[in-house]
Structure 1
Amino acid sequence: MRGSNLIQRLAIVVAAVLVVVLVAGVALATVLTRRPLPEYSGDSTLRILSTDVEVLRDERGVPHIYADTDADLMRAQGYVHAQDRFFEMDYRRHVTAGRVSELVGENDAALAADQVIRTLGWRRVAEQEWDLLSDETRALYDAYAEGVNAYLDTREASQLGVEYTVLGLVTELREIEPWTPVDSLAWLKAMAWDLGGNYDQELGRATAVRALGGDVARVEELYPAYPGEQNLPILPPADAVATPTVEDASWEEVPAGAVEAVDAAYAALQATPRLLGEGDGIGSNSFAVSGAHTASGSPVLANDPHLAVSAPGIWHQVGLHCREVTTLCTFDVAGFDFAGMPGVIIGHNAELAWGLTNLGPDVMDFFLERVYDDGTYLRGGERVPLTRRTETIRVNGGSDLSLSVAATAHGPIVSGILPDTAAANNAPVPDGSPSPGFGGYAVALSWTALTPGRSADAIFALNRATNAEQIAAAAALFDVPAQNIVFATTSGDIGYQAPGRIPVRQHVEDGPVPSDGTWPRPGWDGRYDWAGYVPAEDMPRALNPEEGFIVAANQAVQPAGVGPFLTEDWDYGYRSQRLRELITGAIAEGTPIDAEWANAAMNDEASPYAALLVPALLEVPVEDPFVGEAVSLLADWEQADYQQGDDSAAAAYFAAVWANLLDLTFADDLPEALAPEGGSRWLTVVDQLLDDPTSPWWDDRRTVNLVESRDEILLQALTAARNELTQTLGKDPGDWQWSRLHVVAPRHAVLGADVPAPVRWFANPSAVGVGGGSSIVNATGWDASADVDGRRDYGVTSIPSMRMAVELGDLDQSVWVNFTGVSGHPASEFYDDQMAAWAAGETFPWPFTRAAVDEATTVTRTLRAPG
């Protein structure tokens, strides 16, 4: 995970101190760790409230808040978030403002992260967004901040999080600042960065072209087109609506050399912390089924966002209820929220449920800029001044750093942020480029999230939406991050809506690189500038499709050439296609679909990798009986529908075969930065290579005077995997289990990684082995290129961060589960109390009506208005 060095290095420092505290005495440790735990019962008076507010919590600590005005609801939500997770909120706001060094002190990784985020200017953009929001939204964000601060006002740092106690021993613990509305808005930038589209692929193509000697055709083999006939898009041809599209460009000319400035940009951006996660595993499943195919006769909607493994988990759970819905109090909504932001991100109200999955549009482009020593750059045939500003990064206990940030019309220059990337300026570029002279080249980033928008307005609009028209209106405000919206209503509708600010790219017929956003673009050529954004009314949508269901799981939205151009770099659709198969199968068999069925579908573990590769593997002659003993597992696996369950020996062996196959096929050709992580793109690449037994990719150039073919590499992968698992899991393949390799190990952001055992026991929930895998519906992703101390690492890197299934016919029959729990305090009983159920694929009842919430309530706290 990018930014992991920051977490690990900080953890090592604070862990040593915490160990001293823990061994000093159990009583002292208990006092320190339990001191921040909030009081969930009783009364407290808050002068900010206009009327009393009730906070009802169930046996898992999930709060349902009841108030008489929208403002009081948001005040109470801010208060509850501060109770449950203030350190997480504070850590996030330091990250999104580029101020981690202020919190943790002198630390190279923290300083690198601060430099990148200050250059991108997340906080600056959030400040600009504040003035664009509606008066009502600003009032609600103000109210939320008031609630946070009402909790902070009467408590010192040690009462807000044990993390502050530890940090106070190793750094100067400064006074905790009041929460501001912009602190909440800045979190949207972190969300947008992690969910922002194809920048890895765009820079990856440019990096690969150098490694492959300028062979663009081979590069494109690593980025194949979406397999639309095999894996259907969200809106199949019958539901797709044709609108103007940007034509794809082709790159027939080979660049004159590697663009080192691009490499520098890539290296610098690796320092950016990824708070939601990264890589192919970051996505989601969602589907809605009409009442014609459900047990209740009303729609069922399901959603499970795939995000990073963390402790606490990314989501908080909440209900925001007006005692009576009026013009003064308009919310009656429950679902999953983010600590630090008002409102509900995913959930349902009394009339409509919605789920979100990452749309993944290409909203970032990198522009190669010709810069000069006098502070100018080339634009439209003229030299124009760079825009400059200076940022001061304060380092707790150390010297401040002055950071000079330069920008072009295309955005901030990101190629020279870190000292070790500054030498990239003398870079070769595509043919026909201007001479570098004495200035050189730089890379600027254009990103839609750097233009202020109104996504904060959109969240409240989603919370109140009751029909397709109101969903469309909310989507028109939802600039970033662009998320597929799947929805269903109690009146019987199901629908899909694509939101987002999507760049319109001009078609350049005779340019040096494609103009479709797949490669870095020449900044001096105005034909490559963005030409505005796709109008909201042209974004894809559907209502009550003839099929009777909608599946949105990060696949292509519409068939190629239909609708506005969104991206070339989709998830390749294996999860979505499996969900389609499960739903159509249930419909064909007459199986009524309900919340229980939907949750079981989200836990499906059929492997598309095995379905595509095992038949080819079984055709390879295996003479060694030692290897054949393991291969026999694969022969029997087909009968189990290639389910990658936690106790499956075949799943463990196949995963090892897959990882070794990728290494044997690509490690000799690609740099380590492009090592295959094994996600859906790589499955498509290998699937296509299987049809070409003599492709140059099969040849291992590390073997002298030997040219390998497909079957030789497949045999080597089978053999290497057998040897590897013999060492790690034992000699008898029958004893192997996938869950012994594939482990979810949540880590606390500050106290959890590479630390002594007492700290790990305290701060990290117990690790658990699970089934599933990358591009499987139960999407417990892993990185096939990862290793720990020279041994391959199959550990889980991304997870279904929550699961929910909503019964629109009876909302109280809906179910949900969070990855860990609602609390961010390691000493709380609600820190990881949902994790065992989550790992087992189980859910909990999700009460919504007041009667159901009252019945589930175990404790109530009344926040009283003064007087």
Structure 2
Amino acid sequence: MSASLVRRVVTAVAVVLVVVLAASTVTAAIVIRRPLPTTSGETRIPGLGNDVDVVRDDLGIPQIYADDPHDLFFAQGYVHAQDRFFEMDYRRHVTSGRVAELVGDQEAAIQADSVIRTFGWRRVAEQEWDLLSQQTRDHLTAYADGVNAYLDRRTPSAAAIEYTVLGTQVSVEAIEPWDPIDSVAWLKAMAWDLRGNYDDELLRAAAYGSTQDTSLVGDLFPPYPAETNPPIITDGTPSSPPPDPGTPDVDDASLPAGSEDALAGVVEALGAVPHLLGEGDGIGSNSWVVGGEHTASGDPLLANDPHLGITAPGLWYQAGLHCRDVGDECPFDVAGYTFAGFPGVIIGHNDALAWGLTNLGADVTDFYLERLFTDGTYLRDGERVPVVERTETIEVNGADPIQLTVRSTEHGPLVDEVLPDLELATEAPLPEGSPRPAREGYGVALAWTALEPGRSADAVFAMNLAQDADDVAAAAALFEVPSQNIVFATTDGTIGYQAPGRIPVRAVVSGGTPSNGTWPQPGWDSRYDWQGTVPAEEMPAETDPEEGFIVAANQAVTEPGVGPFLTNDWDYGFRSARIRALLQAEIDAGRPITAETMSRIQNDTLDPAADVLLPSLLDLEVDDFTGEASALLADWDQRTDPDSAGAVLFATVWANVLRRTFADQLPEAVAPSGGAQWIEVVRRLLEEPENLWWDDATTVALVETRDEVLHDALVDARRQLTAALGADPTRWRWGNLHRAAPEHAVLGGDGVPGPVRRLMNPSAIEVGGGSSIVDATGWDATQWGEAAPDFTVTAIPSMRMVVDLGDLDASTWVNFTGNSGHPASPHYTDQLRAWAEGDTYPWPFTRDAVAAAEEETLRLLAPG
């Protein structure tokens, strides 16, 4: 399910709203502005112990000052609800599998609810509550009380305009109170979108199903290029042999038939899961930290820009949380990026330490093929054992409830049963002698670390209070899902890296399917079961490396064989290599690095795919019409700035190369999206002009080679861009086609009338950058218009921050769109232009700096 699943239900509803808005300008203003919160003056709030000050700057960013943690997190809940409650409410309906309860009898909503109920996100969150520390439970409870204090006696239409729209079609009688578990469940959505190699596991199976050739599948998963793209930690000594590269050791001719029905539709079925943070290989992040020996101030600098989905409003909410008197009774003094719906700061800094997060990409999911029997059992080591069943009730607004039977094995829920009537079929190779599938095929269970209760909520507050490397390690031990790289720096000069996460340990099984999680596993053989998890103390970590900086941008963490096995499926490291090269160039030139240097690197637009493909393109002989365009590439500086003609031509050629090379042999659901993996795949295939991937399998009498594919891709691109941008190539611009278009999750889709979309969706804006570029405004090469690629941005640097550990008030930040979730607020889009142009804003932190930036203050008064 995409974030736009409710578009269909709001189409008719939005028509009603259009009529209301058209009736009177005054009526429109009232309807739209009614939910705007009060952000100045005084208001008495039952539930507070003492008064709280909420100080906002000219961007509407709140800095909250309280006397104790209860009041601090109570006020954070209140402020989040003021600015972002519908977003919070939508998220909790998604994470608990209750979207149909919000939007009504819509197939997409019911499918989404079915998958989430099968996973049991809410059930796991409830189980986690008793594992959390009492302090964390207190913080979560105070936060929920603050949310509910804001909602008290507010009608839905007074909380958000979205309820006004929904209320004309479905019942929206009152807003359900916020529960602390609503916050905990949000961590499951985070974990799902940042889960690791699940897509690669399905791609391997799908590619094998199409080609029946494991060597061709291997071409799609080349080894990590550590010689050119260094890992995060570069000074390790291999302690064990490199892990199994993931090629099945089986006799292809003897593979059992029938597994295609087992994996039938799993890609589509799990595509029904909502992606609240984003999806695809554009989801990642850049982060790096530079030690004081290389900076102008002599103190560390830290940069972070998480690459997530593009939404309106943006995913992050900026805030500061400050105890008036910092001490044991009230230890918080922290600011940064928060998620509306969860207390604390997710990424940011306190008075002693700054931290950034990037997706580690560890393999935390495995698919298990299960041999099921009609009597409700499945095969385990030659014995039949019962499938576990439970019944879930999906409430549907305006319709009868739906009873859903969820079935699970030892490995996890049977995900193929959620949506059984699906078309896509893939085939995974299995060891010789595997049990024959039932007539309907094997079942597919999903093992995922996030489906086991954990203490990740504790980790958020531990990071907020961390003072040094030991504190970061302690917090990381709690940060079980999602698995994230942590880079950090302290005001006393330390820089460091820490890998957290609950990472499965897999046994080495010789012969047959690789047991390292790269392929779907045979569930009937317990040798393929997880053997526990990697101990926290064995996770990779580093402080103050000799080279004086650390870059973590989703690349491999260590050299092969160093430390525990985390995954084979890393991002291929082109962004990280570019960041390292830019930092090293400054160091080699003797130029001290500043916050401005860090921001400039964040906005670098050099395309790594150009180094790979451009030499071969320039060698092609083409006709004059195509040559007029290809001349752009000869003069192109390989940068993808919005005004670049070379950038739009190269991107169009790249999309056509991928389509012509792979579309004939890969199912559409796993087609190349164009990111780092495909850069490395094509780099290696270019060295093999007659590799079978170049051949078009649909032309039986012809065998195409590399140069034919490249030539035709260039001709295609010239023709497509002529139709899209005109006949004169010198007038083409990347920004004409590469645009960031934030879309509201509920009221932003094509089915919604124009006036409502224009209200809810900020105007599309031209941007530079692209996929696997440091300025990671990713696009999806699988998406095409009528006859040309669609370069609409699908993933973005969702925020950018640079923290100066020598002067925290000299730090800078910018958010995508703005801090408010209300389209009538000036803070709905007031950061979008600066974000698109690579600019940032001052980030006040100390009390004096916050006071100097103050625009308005709301005092929340305690009863009495």
TM-score range, shorter chain: over 0.9
Check 1:583–1:11 CA distance in 2 against 1; reply closer, same or farther (3 A cut): farther
Which residue of structure 2 lines up, in the alignment, with residue 568 of structure 1?
Answer: 568
Which residue of structure 2 lines up, in the alignment, with residue 181 of structure 1?
Answer: 180
The DSSP-based 3-state class of the residue aligned with 1:6 is coil
Which residue of structure 1 lines up, in the alignment, with residue 759 of structure 2?
Answer: 762
- Tell me whether 525-534 or 606-615 shows the greater mean CA deviation: 606-615
After superposition, residues 16-27 of structure 1 pair within 5 angstroms as 16-27=15-26
Which residue of structure 1 lines up, in the alignment, with residue 322 of structure 2?
Answer: 321
After superposition, residues 71-220 of structure 1 pair within 5 angstroms as 71-212=70-211, 214-220=212-218
Check 1:416–1:783 CA distance in 2 against 1; reply closer, same or farther (3 A cut): same
Structure 2, unpaired ranges of 5+: none
Q: For 1:825 and 1:631, how far apart are their aligned partners in 2?
A: 46
Measured after TM superposition, the shift of residue 260 of structure 1 is 2.1
Deviations along 1:336-390, one digit per CA (max 9) or x if unpaired, are 0000000000000000000000001000001111111111111122111111100
Which residue of structure 2 lines up, in the alignment, with residue 69 of structure 1?
Answer: 68
Deviations along 1:206-250, one digit per CA (max 9) or x if unpaired, are 1111111x21110111111111111110011x2467479865554
User: Which residue identity is paired with 1:866?
Assistant: P
Q: For 1:461 and 1:246, how far apart are their aligned partners in 2?
A: 33
Deviations along 1:40-82, one digit per CA (max 9) or x if unpaired, are 0011111211111000000000000001101110000000000
Q: For 1:50 and 1:728, how far apart are their aligned partners in 2?
A: 62
Which residue of structure 1 lines up, in the alignment, with residue 226 of structure 2?
Answer: 228
User: Which residue identity is paired with 1:307?
Assistant: L
Q: For 2:430 and 2:11, how far apart are their aligned partners in 1?
A: 43
The DSSP-based 3-state class of the residue aligned with 2:435 is coil
Q: TM-score, normalising length from structure 2?
A: 0.97
User: Which residue identity is paired with 1:217?
Assistant: S
User: Which residue identity is paired with 1:256?
Assistant: P
Q: RMSD of the TM alignment (CA)?
A: 1.7
The DSSP-based 3-state class of the residue aligned with 1:556 is coil
Tell me if 1:651 matches 2:647: yes
Measured after TM superposition, the shift of residue 26 of structure 1 is 1.5
Q: Is the 8 A contact 1:249 1:509 kept in 2?
A: no
After superposition, residues 335-734 of structure 1 pair within 5 angstroms as 335-421=336-422, 431-437=432-438, 440-510=441-511, 512-622=512-622, 624-637=623-636, 640=637, 642-734=638-730
Q: For 2:535 and 2:121, how far apart are their aligned partners in 1?
A: 25
Q: Is the 8 A contact 2:726 2:732 kept in 1?
A: yes
Q: For 1:29 and 1:726, how far apart are their aligned partners in 2?
A: 43
Which residue of structure 1 lines up, in the alignment, with residue 801 of structure 2?
Answer: 804
Q: For 1:246 and 1:654, how far apart are their aligned partners in 2?
A: 36
Corresponding pairs, count: 859
Q: Is the 8 A contact 1:371 1:378 kept in 2?
A: yes
Check 1:136–1:240 CA distance in 2 against 1; reply closer, same or farther (3 A cut): farther
Which residue of structure 2 lines up, in the alignment, with residue 830 of structure 1?
Answer: 827
Q: For 2:427 and 2:37, how far apart are their aligned partners in 1?
A: 57
Check 1:241–1:803 CA distance in 2 against 1; reply closer, same or farther (3 A cut): farther
In structure 1, which of residues 765, 773, 776 is the aligned counterpart of residue 773 of structure 2? Answer: 776
Deviations along 1:459-492, one digit per CA (max 9) or x if unpaired, are 0000000100000000000000000000000000
Q: For 2:471 and 2:238, how far apart are their aligned partners in 1?
A: 20
User: Which residue identity is paired with 1:227?
Assistant: P
Q: For 1:564 and 1:763, how far apart are their aligned partners in 2?
A: 47
User: Which residue identity is paired with 1:842?
Assistant: D
Deviations along 1:257-297, one digit per CA (max 9) or x if unpaired, are 45321133222111111110111100000000000010110
User: Which residue identity is paired with 1:828?
Assistant: S
Check 1:658–1:302 CA distance in 2 against 1; reply closer, same or farther (3 A cut): same
Check 1:60–1:36 CA distance in 2 against 1; reply closer, same or farther (3 A cut): same
User: Which residue identity is paired with 1:864?
Assistant: L
In structure 1, which of residues 816, 819, 827 is the aligned counterpart of residue 813 of structure 2? Answer: 816
The DSSP-based 3-state class of the residue aligned with 1:101 is helix
The DSSP-based 3-state class of the residue aligned with 1:133 is coil
Measured after TM superposition, the shift of residue 697 of structure 1 is 1.3
User: Which residue identity is paired with 1:658?
Assistant: W
Structure 1, unpaired ranges of 5+: none
Deviations along 1:575-609, one digit per CA (max 9) or x if unpaired, are 00000000000101111111111011000000101
- Tell me whether 704-713 or 244-253 shows the greater mean CA deviation: 244-253
Measured after TM superposition, the shift of residue 23 of structure 1 is 1.4
Q: Is the 8 A contact 1:268 1:416 kept in 2?
A: no
User: Which residue identity is paired with 1:448?
Assistant: T
Which residue of structure 2 lines up, in the alignment, with residue 47 of structure 1?
Answer: 46
Q: Is the 8 A contact 1:818 1:835 kept in 2?
A: yes
Which residue of structure 2 lines up, in the alignment, with residue 746 of structure 1?
Answer: 742
Q: For 1:265 and 1:758, how far apart are their aligned partners in 2?
A: 38
The DSSP-based 3-state class of the residue aligned with 2:356 is strand
Q: Is the 8 A contact 2:238 2:559 kept in 1?
A: no
Deviations along 1:682-731, one digit per CA (max 9) or x if unpaired, are 11110001101111111223335222221111111111100000000010
The DSSP-based 3-state class of the residue aligned with 1:524 is coil
Q: For 1:440 and 1:651, how far apart are their aligned partners in 2?
A: 47
Q: TM-score, normalising length from structure 1?
A: 0.97
Q: Is the 8 A contact 2:808 2:845 kept in 1?
A: yes
Q: For 2:604 and 2:354, how far apart are their aligned partners in 1?
A: 23
User: Which residue identity is paired with 2:333?
Assistant: D
The DSSP-based 3-state class of the residue aligned with 1:225 is coil
After superposition, residues 834-853 of structure 1 pair within 5 angstroms as 834-853=831-850
